[in-house]
Structure 1
Amino acid sequence: MRRNIFKGAAAAATLALSAGGANAAVVVDQTPSGTFNGSWFNYSSGQNFYVAFDLSEATNIKGFDIFAGGTVQVGQSVTVRVKTDVGGNPNFDSNLLEFGDTIERIDPFDTNSQIAGVDFNPFALQAGRYWMSVSFQTAISRWNSYDNGGPQTTSNQWVFYGNSPGFQANVYDLGYRIRGDVTGVAVPEPGTWAMLILGFGAVGAGLRKRRVPMRFSLTTG
């Protein structure tokens, strides 16, 4: 009976972790509220936009909605990249995360944009500022911008041409939403996990070495 209970609990935990981001809360909301401004090429091997976002608490990121123009369809491949913030700019040298995914759903928004939804396997980010890009594989799909109060600056938007950072001065607010679950719990970094595992191993080895065999003597009267 216990074994079945444990199996059920493990299955429930796995299901909770693998649940798609479609039902996750919106933790960063840049839904367009102004007028349509333009449609920008955003593809992995070419012009690739990164947008800044802030997390006030530790969060499991589960999905991204991009307000897209051009040709977008379910099953289309995208590349997801996340960078840490270094002095108000994205880390130009490396990505914190990079992986491929696909568009799971397309929802209408207005005459210029469709909402292309991508659900991730959840990944944990601590509170702080980050930069994210979800780019298409070809130039036929674009990222739409809206005038929500003026053009963006380097404080919230960079564009990469391959690995070279740049800036497009006439790009207004790119429309997107980031979905996830706020945990509020600090998640150890991979290096911290490794140290903890090594520490537990050392403690276990020490306990094994200290184990003293028990001796019994039989006394006859």
Structure 2
Amino acid sequence: MIRKTPRLRAAALAAATLAVTALGAGAAQATQVFSDNFNGENGGVAADPYTGFANFTVLSGAVTLNEGARCDGGAGGCVGLDGRGGGGGTEFEMSNGLNYGVGSVVTLTYDIAGNNHDCPACATDDEYEAGFVFSNIGETINDVTLDGIDVGPTVVSTGIDLFGTGFPLPFNDPWTTHTISFTATDVGTIKAHFRSFSTDGVGPLLDNVSVDVTGGGVPEPAGWALMILGFGATGAALRRRRTVVAA
């Protein structure tokens, strides 16, 4: 006669449960992180203008690569968002985007300071904008916060959504950390984007740019591996679930 084996059925169910649990854990913890402090650019040598960034592209205008005392912490590299010969209207953007999913929390963090030049003609305030380039135009993003202040839902109306019409920045403003965050309602891709309205060649200083994309139901590689392993175990158990016993 043919006899079913409850232990194998239980083992198959346990394997499948382990796979789904691991997949869920991977989805909840999936994180992409981008970070750039501009240290080591150009071999640690300042340049004005400079375009050879490892992770950023100068879309318009010009930027300066600064090294040393003018940068955050008085060392390393940083970016002047109005380089020599740029003519103003500088746009500075991540070269490669980060993917996000439904429910992903996306956070941009950056440090910025006034131009801090000591020449009398340079003692002018600047304006800048910071935000994201979105691939998904028309999406409504939720839980939008600027430096922790809730500004409510926002509709992505253009490919570039910068928050504010220009943040005023005194020339002698110290290094300050700022954040922009939102929760996605659809899938898409973002890039961090910065814009300066300075036209005198000594724009705001930028340093320590990072972007975190957390959650959104995208399993980590380990989650996929455990899922495949679990379903493999399930299949093997089911193939052995019937045992032939002599009558």
Same fold (TM over 0.5): no
TM class, shorter-length: 0.3 to 0.5
Larger CA Rg, structure 1 vs 2: 2
